[in-house]
Amino acid sequence: MCDQTFLAVVFGPCDKCSKEKPLRAVYIKSEQLSYCSLCVEMVQLVGLHHRLKLHGLIPPSDITHKHRDLPGQSFDAGLSNHRLFAVHQVAERVEALGQFVMKTRRTLKGHGNKVLCMDWCKDKRRIVSSSQDGKVIVWDSFTTNKEHAVTMPCTWVMACAYAPSGCAVACGGLDNKCSVYPLTFDKNENMAAKKKSVAMHTNYLSACSFTNSDMQILTASGDGTCALWDVESGQLLQSFHGHGADVLCLDLAPSETGNTFVSGGCDKKAMVWDMRSGQCIQSFETHDSDINSVRYYPSGDAFASGSDDATCRLYDLRADREVAIYSKESIIFGASSVDFSLSGRLLFAGYNDYTINVWDVLKGSRVSILFGHENRVSTLRVSPDGTAFCSGSWDHTLRVSA
């Protein structure tokens, strides 16, 4: 991120176990106590156990067994007798994938500084990208030609999105706003002149996306909120409060499954929202650090997240829990961006160690690793027809690979 925010940590004796550790504030029966992170986990675990018992998901019995945490089963420790499955156990009989050969097919050069965000157009060939130097460029990925370019009045344009019609792009960043630029092929027209300011936040814009039409935009901001705006009038239609820190990413559910979206933030939580009521429907907090990227599974029943804790995780919405972790001991840098292939079998993740790892979603194993970028990968999207994926990096380039 552009500026570092440091969490002020209180160090001292834990109110539960009395050990000297970094403390977090916990509310128990309306009283504020300071627990160390281990005791916080224990309290949450007891609470979860109680919740599951209330719904008959586990039979009433004491928490006497303490199972070791196994990958993909982070909720298991302490829950007796029931083995909760992770996807890779159910997918044991699925055929393993063969070797993948993916290469960079196009390199888009032209940005003068770090590429921060990119998006594909629905026509499967155009790409919009934004960078730290304030430039937003629209490319034709087949020919690598630049079709449009506009300079924003601010630096660090952290979010950009293509309109579904292909006639406009939205972008924003440190200016705290999301602006929409209609795309015109008229050489005499200045793109910046037709700019329309749509969203206004009180902190930086971290992500934006059009909904199913050109008429509404969903934004996420460093002020901890997400918001839905009407493009024509600039009016705020709905705001979404609940994150305890900066919201870094969002993704809309695929159209067949309705009006929800998922957001991820610096509070390590991924939250699923109802767009009409503004209500948070589900939340997931299993990551150990900021969630940089969230992306829905193609069926809409699950979503993946990439985080600074160097793992990607898969959460199932109908089971309401994490069902897979994609990590390796050798991967210690954060994942900045994730996306699924068309069938959902592959998960592409761009990391801060300059690589792109390709994971087998069902088996939980890595199938391929791509090199090529000379600095951290900041953004990654698979094309709408699934034939290729584009990655943008701090090395000022975008690469289309297939």
Partner 1 sequence: STTNNIAQARKLVEQLRIEAGIERIKVSKASSELMNYCEQHARNDPLLVGVPASENPFKDKKPCIIL
Binding site for partner 1 (CB under 8 A): 27, 30-32, 51, 54-55, 57, 84-87, 89-91, 94, 97, 102, 105-106, 125, 141-144, 242, 279-283, 297-299, 301-302, 316, 318-321, 323, 341-346, 361-362, 382, 385-389, 400, 402
369: buried, middle or exposed (CB in 10 Å: 19+, 13-18, 0-12)?
middle
At its nearest, how many Å lie between partner 1 and the CB of residue 240? 13
Of the candidates 256, 293, 291, 296, which has an alpha carbon nearest to the alpha carbon of residue 118? 293
Nearer to partner 1, 114 or 399 (CB): 399
At its nearest, how many Å lie between partner 1 and the CB of residue 131? 23
Residue type, 386: G
Question: How far apart (Å, rounded) are the C-alpha atoms in residues 152 and 295?
Answer: 27
At its nearest, how many Å lie between partner 1 and the CB of residue 146? 14
At its nearest, how many Å lie between partner 1 and the CB of residue 122? 15
Nearer to partner 1, 279 or 289 (CB): 279
Nearer to partner 1, 133 or 316 (CB): 316
At its nearest, how many Å lie between partner 1 and the CB of residue 32? 6
Nearer to partner 1, 108 or 217 (CB): 108
Alpha helices by DSSP H, listed for 74-172, are 87-90
Of the candidates 141, 196, 205, which has an alpha carbon nearest to the alpha carbon of residue 174? 205
Nearer to partner 1, 7 or 98 (CB): 98
Residues in Cβ contact with 271 at an 8 Å cutoff, skipping those fewer than 6 apart = 242, 243, 262, 263, 264, 265, 280, 282, 283, 284
Nearer to partner 1, 199 or 370 (CB): 370
In angstroms, what CA-CA distances link 342 with 219, 297, 316, 347? 25, 9, 18, 10
Residue recorded with tokens 């990439």: 306
At its nearest, how many Å lie between partner 1 and the CB of residue 307? 21
Task: Report strand pairing: 205-210 vs 196-200.
Answer: unpaired
Nearer to partner 1, 53 or 196 (CB): 53
Give the dihedral sign, CA 40/46/49/51: negative
Nearer to partner 1, 113 or 144 (CB): 144
Residue type, 40: V
At its nearest, how many Å lie between partner 1 and the CB of residue 196? 30
Do the beta carbons of residue 109 and residue 396 sit within 8 Å?
Answer: yes
* Assigned token pair, 127: 């790409």
Question: How far apart (Å, rounded) are the C-alpha atoms in residues 254 and 233?
Answer: 26
At its nearest, how many Å lie between partner 1 and the CB of residue 342? 4
At its nearest, how many Å lie between partner 1 and the CB of residue 85? 5
Of the candidates 318, 258, 322, which has an alpha carbon nearest to the alpha carbon of residue 287? 322
What are the φ and ψ backbone dihedral angles of 90, each rounded to 5 degrees?
-70, -30
Residues in Cβ contact with 348 at an 8 Å cutoff, skipping those fewer than 6 apart = 338, 339, 340, 341, 356, 357, 358, 359, 380, 382, 389
Nearer to partner 1, 235 or 279 (CB): 279
Local structure of residue 17 (DSSP, 8 states): T
Nearer to partner 1, 1 or 402 (CB): 402
At its nearest, how many Å lie between partner 1 and the CB of residue 90? 4
